[in-house]
Chain A
Amino acid sequence: DQQVKQNSPSLSVQEGRISILNCDYTNSMFDYFLWYKKYPAEGPTFLISISSIKDKNEDGRFTVFLNKSAKHLSLHIVPSQPGDSAVYFCAAQENTGFQKLVFGTGTRLLVSP
């Protein structure tokens, strides 16, 4: 059951450059999408989200883009910083009122100085 897919297990970027993390989904009932960041030995931390009625949401260095027709979303981090090095999870939910999140497998981002 691969309803949410992150096809790149890892990404390396230099400090100051843009990081682009991608996520695809198959369930057309998903209407809310989130990105979580996870450091080792910690739980996932919410980063940014987007509703299906939007195609872009921006928060500081982080921007999420949603392409509903392609069932694709991406997270842009610019400029990337070494402290951004973590595993990034894409997650999605249906509008059920309860946050039964379906997670992707994660992309490990390494930002080198």
Chain B
Amino acid sequence: EPEVTQTPSHQVTQMGQEVILRCVPISNHLYFYWYRQILGQKVEFLVSFYNNEISEKSEIFDDQFSVERPDGSNFTLKIRSTKLEDSAMYFCASTRGGSPLHFGNGTRLTVT
């Protein structure tokens, strides 16, 4: 069965550094998402992306965050200047539309 793949599985970065989290959604999917889960808390919606633009974003997704689909396969989340509170599991998800989200296994981001 096709999968959403995320790299790296674990990223450690220093506060203030830029980080890029990478995702390869399922190939025939059209809608792409980032969610995150801070340790011990809920999985939270960050952003949805369709037709090469952001369709919706949460209040968490401020100017420090950006998303891009640079080619036909990758979908990236960039955090420009990381803060300690950005430490979390970041999940990429995709769907064809009208079907449930398929999630990747996540990238654990640790900001020190």
Contacts and interface: CB of A to CB of B under 8 A. Distances in A.
A99 B105 contact: no
Interface stretch (B13-21, B37-45, B64-72, B79-87): B37-45
Nearest to B91: A43
A29 interface: no
A41 interface: yes
Interface string A21-58: 00000000000001010000111111001000000000
Interface residues of B, number: 24
B75 interface: no
Interface residues of A, number: 21
Contacts, number: 51
Interface in A93-107: 96, 98-106
A44 B103 contact: yes
B91 A98 contact: no
Contacts of A100: 45, 48, 56, 58
Given A41-B105, A105-B42, A98 B100 contact: no
Interface string B87-100: 00001010100001
Interface of A: 34, 36, 41-46, 49, 89, 91, 96, 98-106
